[in-house]
Chains A and B, each alone.
Chain A
Amino acid sequence: MRPDSKAKIAFELNGEPVEVAFAPHKTLLEVLREDLALTGTKHGCELGECGTCTVLLDGAPVLSCLVLGLACERRRVKTVEGLAQGSRLHPLQEAFAALGAAQCGYCTPAFLLTADALLADNPSPNRDDIKQALSGNLCRCTGYIKIYEAVELAAARLRGEKAEPARESLYGRR
């Protein structure tokens, strides 16, 4: 294939088959945002230093700025657009909103997906497991505590527990 001609691949995106044509040197991030118009996945440093462009590739969180679109042929991609079920938010999204785990919100899609992969793998992570799993995602607003609490709340709800945000998480220490 000539470098300037378009490549066409098929893969599974958020549970549905897609076919897309794009310039062969494009990254998955560029293909998602520019050729599939899914702008939930954010541009950050574009060099693998911030985690903002995280998507799930075959279930594992990866940086879409460093994955070639062409490397995704016949693979499974999940973006933040694939989290909500119709108009119902994913428990992680609900918990992030309830606890103020999203402030400016730019890193939020990446945190949601990384946490989603963690909970698929380990439904009952402790605080250290969560810290470790999210240690490749930068957030400059929250100081991370709200994010950890939101993941813990969502994990409890996903396990079927009737969990509510801790009073301290909502109103601070009195």
Chain B
Amino acid sequence: MLRLPSFKYLQPKTLKEALAMKADAGPDGMYVAGGTDLYPNMKRRHQEPRTVISLMAIPELKRLEGWNVGTCVTLTELSNLPTFQHSYPAVAHAAALVSTPLLRNMGTLGGNLCLDTRCNYYDQTYEWRKAIDFCMKKDGHICWVAPSSPRCWAVSSSDVAPVAVAIGAEFLLVGPQGERVIPAGRFYHNDGINYLTKQPDEILVEVRLPAPDGWDAVYHKLRRRGSFDFPVLGVAAWVRREGGRVTDARIVLGGVASWPQEIPEAAAALRDGELGDDAIAAAAAAAYRPAKPLDNTDFDLSWRKQMTRVYVKAALEELRQRRG
């Protein structure tokens, strides 16, 4: 039976209280929201905090004000909001594709954005990992996916993160030094271990979405089953259009790197033209080249890479259909 290690559980009512508790707990303290990522990890002894600080009783984190969303809003709440289904269909859709309805009732927006990177050699029990010798992400020194690699290649597996980066959302972080607001794209490092630029004592408080005017976005997800599974590939595509012409675009891939991977070459292929077949094919080809999935998640490696082209094309065709 997989049990949680013992720890002290705290339920602060304000952000200030939460920060003070984290300062008291030091490096052995961790924040938790829905717990659907942290608790399985704790059961497998990936993370072993002595103090767990729940953010779920802090009203500020559940706030929905205009286009600003508190990070403790659950994924179910986010995907069901009529305003979001209308104005941010890509965000609502990505949230609705995370895992299962049960886990979406528990998991939060912030939790999905901070999701631990995943790998076939990491997301295993302590005993499994010990049996083949631990990897560098936890307790060991080697990367079992690329044994000569100096870095960890665990995969960014969030569905909402690629969308947040693609549409240019901003994140409000609050820490002991005060507040800061950063673009979603600067929230992530391309490193399987140190995958967030957020400091451990900072709290991701709010996601600020851009006003829904003149742009559209879609999210497509590849996985083995229609439910449960993390993305093996996620494609978030964003375009700004004026009179049918694309004036700006962003393509961001999930599941192919340790961060949501922006593909500027694909966006460049779309700029200053119509969303025609040629532009879409050029963008899909441009996204195919830099996508470097590694053999650390489900499905065959080369097939996953080929699917990049197929999924980027499908995402852009959906955007074209939705126009006007």
List residues of chain A with CB under 8 Å of any chain B CB. 1-4, 23-27, 30, 43, 46-49, 51, 54, 60-63, 66-68, 70-71, 114, 132-133, 135-137
Chain B at the A interface: SS class: loop
Interface membership of B105, Cβ < 8 A:
yes
CB neighbours (8 Å) of B226 from chain A are: 135
Interface check B9, CB cutoff 8 A: yes
Q: Would B1 and A25 count as touching, CB distance under 8 A?
A: no
- Give the secondary structure class of A's interface: loop
Chain B, interface size category, equals 20 to 34
CB-defined contacts of A24 to chain B, threshold 8 Å: 6-9
Q: Are B40 and A48 in contact (CB under 8 A)?
A: yes
Q: Which 4 A-B pairs have the closest CB atoms?
A: A136-B100, A135-B227, A136-B102, A47-B40
Q: A25-B4, A70-B9 are in contact. Are A51 and B43 (CB under 8 A)?
A: no
- The verdict on B56 contacting chain A, using a C-beta distance below 8 Å, is yes
In the complex, the answer to whether B8 meets A3 with C-beta atoms within 8 Å is yes
Which residues of B are interface residues toward A (Cβ below 8 A)? 1-9, 11, 35-36, 39-40, 43-44, 50, 54, 56, 76, 99-103, 105-106, 226-228
The answer on a CB contact under 8 Å between A135 and B100 is yes
Cross-interface CB contact of B36 among A1, A2, A66, cutoff 8 Å: A66
B35 contact set on A, CB distance < 8 A = 66-68, 71
Chain B CB count within 10 A is highest, among A24, A48, A49, for A48
A136-B1 in contact (CB<8A): no
Distance to closest chain A CB from B298 (angstroms): 13
Q: Are A51 and B102 in contact, CB atoms less than 8 angstroms apart?
A: yes
Besides A66-B35, A135-B227, 13 more A-B contacts (Cβ < 8 Å) are A24-B8, A25-B5, A25-B7, A30-B3, A43-B1, A47-B44, A60-B76, A61-B105, A66-B40, A71-B35, A136-B99, A136-B101, A136-B102
